[in-house]
Structure 1
Amino acid sequence: MCGGRGGIWLALAAALLHVSLQGEFQRRLYKELVKNYNPLERPVANDSQPLTVYFSLSLLQIMDVSWTDHYLQWNMSEYPGVKNVRFPDGQIWKPDILLYNSETSRLAVRVSPFWMHLRIVCYALLFVWQ
């Protein structure tokens, strides 16, 4: 009976150890990524290239928005186990979206970036904000 519980505690301790070791790499990666990052710049390698932003809509609201940020990328071998990094609001570039009502061309509703609450960068470079 006690042996079964010991195995559970050992598995839990191993999982927590992996999480705490990953935290050190996440902190180092975060500092490296924001060192020269400017959220006011479009995240493209060449300023003459367009940035494609994909989003889907429902009748009442924007459901999700995704794009690739060229500046926020890393080599997985240098940051073992780090698959994502969280950023505070305002620290990374977000698309400026303007919606127009087809009924009245005078009405324009600006979508505030503050509704975007998930700030995770994945090593695959694709942002998904929902």
Structure 2
Amino acid sequence: MGIKTMRGRRGRMEKILLGAAVLTAGLLQAGHAGAADLKIGLAVAMTGAYAPYSEAEGARCMADRLNKAAGANDPKVELMIEDNRSDPQLSVSLGQKFLDAGAQVITGVPFPDALIPMAQTAQPYGATVF
């Protein structure tokens, strides 16, 4: 894997984690005992042409770290990770599945033709897509 590829991958993971951290901080600030967990739907390519660029392991690692650092009454980060098989249409379907399961954040979709429809679907739910 080249340096350019790793920089792009690292940059994308940093954006995902920054977004999750900001949302978690918001929940903690506004939160109270027993606050709702932060559910993040991650549609990643674990198979197919984009599989080498998957962020799944990094996201799992950060969710574990955030959850370990959280107090007993703090909200936890719950990841819902699904393989989009490098398929834009499947990514849109997975986005709906995540929304139906209560996801507040959906990410990991590298396809421009999937990101806009997914964002439009997420809007009525008040979910964030990036």
Q: TM-score, normalised by structure 2?
A: 0.33
* Larger gyration radius, structure 1 or structure 2: 1
